[in-house]
Amino acid sequence: MDKPMDAAQIFQRLAELAGAYRDGQAEGGYVTYLPPAELARCLELDRPAPLGDWDEIFRWVELYLRYSVKTGHPGYMNRMWSSANLPSVLGEMVTALSNTSACTFETAPVSTLMEQYLLQAMLDLVGFPKGSGQMTTGSSNANLIALLIARNQASQAKNKGLFAQQELFAFVNCEAHYSFDRAANVLGLGSDHLIKIPVDEHGRMRTDALEAELARVTANGGRPFFVCATQGTTVRGAFDPVAPLLPLREKYGFWLHCDGAWGGPVIFSQKLRAQFLPHLEKADSFTLDFHKMPGTALMCNFLLLRGNMGVLQQALSAGDETYIFRSEADGSLRDLGTLSLQCGRRVDSLKAFLDWKFYGRAGFAARVEDCLSLAEYAEERVQALPELEMVAPRESFNLCFRFCPPAGVDAAALLQAIRSRMQREGRYLVGTGFVGGELAMRFIATNPAIGRPEIDAFLQTVVQSGKTMLAEQAA
């Protein structure tokens, strides 16, 4: 019988495998594409395996990597995130190794202090120096918590529920993220009480339409309690202006939240913050994802509040928590779990901390500015190619375009077919979305492996694929 592998040998083997995988991200296609049934046959997930066999375990790991999408490949353009920064990957591995929960100081002392340090750094950056916050599982979770805080501030729903309460109404850009629909469901508000405001030609929430809805709800006895300004809509990348919402907040008393899941990282750049997020410091809450443009390993999010820690604690603390949570002798908070929806909390602070120390604000600013520069270049190239056209003007980091079909050809069907062909070939994975009822290919250059040559190659592939498919249809 062979001698069992010790921990050092296991980690050495993993290091060799991980290094080869990372270094080979650009090789071949972004994926070895197989239909689900064929992939299942290759994986042999139900194959009997001997217990306690590390060779067998590493076989599964190798299969996983072989057939997974390479998010660091230059053809990966589908999501707002891509391959993770190496400092954060190291942090994720150490987090798994230490295997603790970031709910109490006594079980996660270093993580607690790192999270508090990062929160204060982000609060200072946003302009909430005396504010509070928490790290969450992502902006969907952060948006829900912001909505929950606003609901509890506006009503007695925390103790009495929504029964016999004044009707509460929340307002969002009609192109806001679907997490608000889910939050309205979870919090018992109901979809009819989430009012979706029409947008202007740039995809920004129309202030006049919002004001009209606020007045209508109020006149009918309802309470407008929450307005979200989306900072970088999912498809178009539009930024809802904050300034026009401030006098409306003064008049109606709602909570003003800014969802910066996608566009929020512009705060790292003084130039881009002034361009896209003026007056952010006057909002009540703000969220941004480190795992999107900044490139920290999934998941990593910050929810930041202009108000003090008592706002979070009032909204989220419930039940008898004395068995686990402690306060300092002066009454100050020590355990972060009391400010969270869940008890068990992933340690996300280490990977964010290592990225922050490695790149700093300047490094993140350069990255975000580069993303914008690449989006500008891609727009220029689309406009220069007669076979392509913009579906909507570029607002920030998102490029919405399509292949121009000849008369009588279904543009949406052709676009989907082009996308599917590139996917099956393992060449490019790119998103789609509707803008004003028109289907667009949505290009996002958040992947550090993408530069101008890669953009040129991608657009030429779209053109050639479209021409080829039209020729096949005509034959």
Q: Residues 216-271: pLDDT tens digits? A: 999 999 999 999 999 999 999 999 999 999 999 999 999 999 999 999 999 999 99
Amino acid at residue number 340: S
What string of DSSP letters covers 102-156? Answer: TT-TTT-HHHHHHHHHHHHHHHHHHT-TT-EEEEES-HHHHHHHHHHHHHHHHSS
User: What's the CA gap between 238 and 436, in Å, rounded?
Assistant: 14
User: What's the CA gap between 11 and 48, in Å, rounded?
Assistant: 25
What is the H or E stretch that residue 170 is in? strand 168-173
Q: Examine the pLDDT at 322 and tell me if it is beyond 90.
A: no
| Residue 68 covered by a domain | no
| Residue 124 covered by a domain | yes
| pLDDT tens-place string over residues 106-152 | 999 999 999 999 999 999 999 999 999 999 999 999 999 999 999 99
User: What's the CA gap between 156 and 148, in Å, rounded?
Assistant: 12
Q: What is the pLDDT of residue 328?
A: 67
| pLDDT tens-place string over residues 425-475 | 999 999 999 998 999 999 998 999 999 999 999 999 999 999 999 998 877
Paired residues of 304 in beta bridges: 133, 286
| Residue 36 covered by a domain | no
| Residue 87 covered by a domain | no
Q: What is the pTM of this model?
A: 0.94
| pLDDT tens-place string over residues 360-396 | 999 999 999 999 999 999 999 999 999 999 999 999 9
How distant, in Å, are the alpha carbons of 182, 347, 350 from that of 95?
A: 30, 6, 7
| Residue 239 covered by a domain | yes
Pairing mode, strands 255-260 and 223-230: parallel
| Residue 290 covered by a domain | yes
pLDDT band for 12, please (50, 70, 90 cuts).
very high
Q: What is the pLDDT of residue 331?
A: 60
pLDDT band for 2, please (50, 70, 90 cuts).
low
* Assigned token pair, 135: 């790290």
| Sheet containing strand 168-173, strands side by side | 132-136, 301-305, 285-289, 255-260, 223-230, 168-173, 194-197
Query: How many C-alpha atoms does 456 have within 13 Å on its Cβ side?
Result: 3
Q: Examine the pLDDT at 329 and tell me if it is beyond 70.
A: no
DSSP 94: H
326 CB-near residues (< 8 Å, 6+ apart):
104, 105, 106, 334, 335
pLDDT band for 311, please (50, 70, 90 cuts).
confident
User: What's the CA gap between 112 and 92, in Å, rounded?
Assistant: 16
How many separate domains does the chain show? 1
CATH number at residue 216: 3.40.640.10
Paired residues of 435 in beta bridges: 438
User: What's the CA gap between 410 and 275, in Å, rounded?
Assistant: 38
* Assigned token pair, 413: 């069907």
Residue ranges of the alpha helices (H) in 127-243?
A: 139-154, 157-160, 179-186, 207-219
Does residue 395 contact residue 330 with C-beta atoms inside 8 Å? no
Residue 349: closest CA among 57, 2, 340: 340
249 CB-near residues (< 8 Å, 6+ apart):
227, 256
| Residue 302 covered by a domain | yes
Query: Which residue segment(s) compose the domain that 131 sits in?
Result: 92-356
| Residue 214 covered by a domain | yes
User: What's the CA gap between 113 and 328, in Å, rounded?
Assistant: 14
